[in-house]
Amino acid sequence: MDEELDQEPLPDDWYLVESNGHRSRIPRTMLFMGREHCDVQVKSDTVDKRHAVLTYDVFLSKFKIKDLSSINKTYVNSTRIQEQEYVTLNHMDTVQLGHDILLLQSKC
């Protein structure tokens, strides 16, 4: 998932920031996160092919994440989330898929 960042950011834009500092704007839709054939690809052996799903809640204007029964689990701010239950994400939350950590940022 590499969307162009040359557009003017909107006040309610959200971004995923990788450990190398690369930022990707997240579209307000449902996105699968995992290794292969996913909207958000994380190239790591500790991440399942379909590890988690990220979805936008229009009523809260926030993203939610759900673990898809992954082997190495999904964590938000170092707390393991329950399988198949959505957790609401906030600005500067960390999302860990296996051993890989992403930072969620809202606004610019």
pLDDT confidence of residue 5: 41
pLDDT confidence of residue 1: 45
Q: 106 and 14 in contact (C-beta within 8 Å)?
A: yes
Q: 89 and 65 in contact (C-beta within 8 Å)?
A: yes
**Domains of the chain, CATH where assigned:** 17-106 (2.60.200.20)
pLDDT confidence of residue 11: 55
Entry pTM: 0.84
First to last CA, the chain: 19
Of 20, 31, 39, 36, the closest CA to residue 102 belongs to 20
User: Block means of pLDDT (10 residues each) for the chain, length 108 residues?
Assistant: 46 85 92 94 94 96 96 97 96 95 84
pLDDT confidence of residue 36: 86
Residues 6+ apart with CB under 8 A from 21: none
